[in-house]
Every structure is written in structure tokens, then in C-alpha cells.
Amino acid sequence: MSESDTQSTRVMTQRRTGITRWHKVLACLEWTADDRIRVSDLDADNQPGTVAFDSPARDITKARYLASVNKQSDSSCTFKTADSKVTLLSLENSIPFPGAEETAEEYDKRATESGVPTPLWWIERLKSFGVDATYLGFWKLYGIVVAAGIAVAVILAFIIFLVTVVGQ
């Protein structure tokens, strides 16, 4: 995704509204021309309505992208400020947000030419503003899970060894 620093970027995605996977709404994620991140819930006409999150990029204190490790769970991307937080789901499946007066042909052309910002694009752009931003992709998360599993297996083997030796 090659975006100029003055151009607004808007995508349609989902926002988490509760603790379960079913608590989500369609939302518009926008990086504005003046470097703000804005998340608005979509109304019945799929237009941005209620603003759920709006912050200058430099005021975001933490951003985390966690990839999905299986097909039953969504990936998540969380933006936090000192007083607010928003979690977006399946950012990698977002689509460009259609313009207000844009025809289907114009939309297709723009989507083809500009592409869709990847989750890594959002994280890297926030890093350029000094934000504590982390991208944990599938293989990194998978590696953490495997390493934790190996560590637990080694600890259990050591405990079994100690019980066997001390028990004799």
C-alpha cells in the first residue's frame, strides 16, 4: 500500500463491542489526512455514524495486532490512548470504503490501483509516530505457542524425574 502522508485512508472492517466473538459491528477505520485514527460504527445505510474512537496518531499509547491462530477466531488490532481503546477484528479482510459519490467502476479502479492497507501497514505507520506498536503475525504467535508447549513439557518431565528419584 503506497499512501501519501496527506491522503485519507478508509476501510470497512469490524469492531469488537463485547467479550465474545459475536459481539461485533461493522465499522469504518480511517487514517485521516491530518494523521488521526478514527473508527466509526456503520449505520443502516453502511455509512459512518457513531464515532467509537478518534485520536491523533501521536496520542495513541499502544497498538497491538494479533494474528488469528485458527479459522474459528478472528485476528485483532487494538489501539489505546490514555482514556480510550478500540479493538478491530479481521483487519486483513477489510475492504476499501466506497466514496460517497463513487460509481462501482470508479470504486473498482481505485481499489485495484491503491489496494487495501495491510495490518502491518497500520502498525508500521503508527511506529513512525513513536507509538509502542507491535505486530504479532501467525508464525510469531505459532512460535510462541510451540515454545510455551515445549517449556511446559520440559518442566513436567523434570517434575516427573524429581518425583521418581525422590520417591525411591
**Would you place residue 3 in the very low, low, confident or very high pLDDT band (cuts 50, 70, 90)?**
very low
Query: 166 in a domain, yes or no?
Result: yes
Helices (H), 17-103: none
Whole-number pLDDT of residue 4: 44
pLDDT at 6: 54
In a shared domain, residues 125 and 154? no
Give domain status of residue 1, yes or no: no
pTM over 0.85: no
119 and 78 together in one domain: yes
Domain containing 165: what range?
139-168
Residues 53, 41 within the same domain: yes
Per the structure, how many domains does the chain have? 2
CA quadruple 137, 1, 123, 82: dihedral sign: negative
Whether 141 has a pLDDT exceeding 80, the answer reads no
- Which residue type, as a one-letter code, is found at position 130? G
What integer is the mean pLDDT of 148-164?
92
| Residue 42 belongs to a domain | yes
Same domain for 112 and 85? yes
Please give the C-alpha separations between residue 102 and each of 44, 51, 87, 107, in angstroms, as whole numbers. Answer: 19, 23, 29, 6
